[in-house]
């Protein structure tokens, strides 16, 4: 930042020692250190405030983008055509599933007194079109799975075998007999 090398620092230190004197140099260096600490604290506060402002600006941009997206989605799904169509489908699902009758030219009946011919109506076989949920058929085969056999529980053993004989006491040395 300042491009001060060690050689320049040594020269500044020697000049300060000569000009200020060895007796007052520690007090001056302490004061300079305190001022440097204050400057660093102010710089870190400025950086913190700057970063906070950047975060707020970024949040404002994100909020603006979110609001634009929300309004676009609302305008897409806010049309009355879609609402009316959905309400029709909810009220009468079979009418919405059957296609409209085709307007093909029909031949006029030869006998005007004869009843008009009716076209056979077909009911949809799709369960969704009927408004019912499909039901799975009951299983005809047994789907149970046999459980594997569990291994036997581990045997618990003590570290000391109580059935084994106690060790024999060590023989006493014969030279140590008390009189």
Which 8-state DSSP code applies to residue 179?
Answer: -
pLDDT at residue 151, rounded to an integer: 84
pLDDT at residue 152, rounded to an integer: 84
pLDDT band at 2 (very low <50, low <70, confident <90, very high): low
Of 6-10, 19-23, 27-31, 111-115, the least confident: 111-115
**pLDDT above 60 for 101:** no
Domain boundaries, the chain: 6-98
What's the average model confidence in pLDDT over 114-118?
58
16: tokens are 């300060």
- pTM of the entire predicted model: 0.34
pLDDT at residue 34, rounded to an integer: 96
**pLDDT above 70 for 162:** no
What's the average model confidence in pLDDT over 149-157?
80
> Are 124 and 94 within 8 A, CB to CB?
yes
Q: How far, in Å, CA of 86 to CA of 93, rounded?
A: 10
C-alpha triplet 90, 95, 96: angle, nearest 5°: 60
pLDDT band at 76 (very low <50, low <70, confident <90, very high): confident
What's the average model confidence in pLDDT over 123-152?
68
**pLDDT above 90 for 51:** yes
pLDDT at residue 106, rounded to an integer: 52
> Are 97 and 124 within 8 A, CB to CB?
yes
């Amino acid at each position: 930042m300042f491009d001060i090398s060690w050689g320049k620092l040594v020269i500044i230190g020697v000049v300060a020692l000569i000009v200020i004197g060895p007796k007052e140099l520690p007090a001056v260096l302490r004061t300079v250190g305190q001022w440097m600490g204050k400057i660093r604290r102010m710089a870190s506060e400025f950086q913190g405030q700057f970063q906070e402002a950047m975060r707020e600006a970024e949040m404002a941009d994100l909020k603006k983008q979110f609001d634009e997206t929300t309004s676009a989605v609302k305008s897409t799904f806010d049309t009355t055509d879609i609402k009316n169509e959905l309400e029709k489908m909810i009220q009468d699902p079979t009418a919405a599933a059957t296609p409209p009758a085709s307007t093909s030219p029909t031949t006029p009946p030869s006998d005007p007194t004869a009843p008009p011919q009716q076209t056979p109506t077909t009911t949809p076989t799709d369960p969704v079109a009927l408004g019912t949920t499909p039901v799975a058929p009951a299983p005809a085969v047994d789907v149970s799975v046999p459980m594997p056999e569990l291994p036997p529980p581990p045997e618990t053993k003590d570290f000391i075998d109580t059935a084994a004989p106690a060790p024999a006491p060590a023989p006493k040395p014969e030279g140590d007999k008390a009189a």
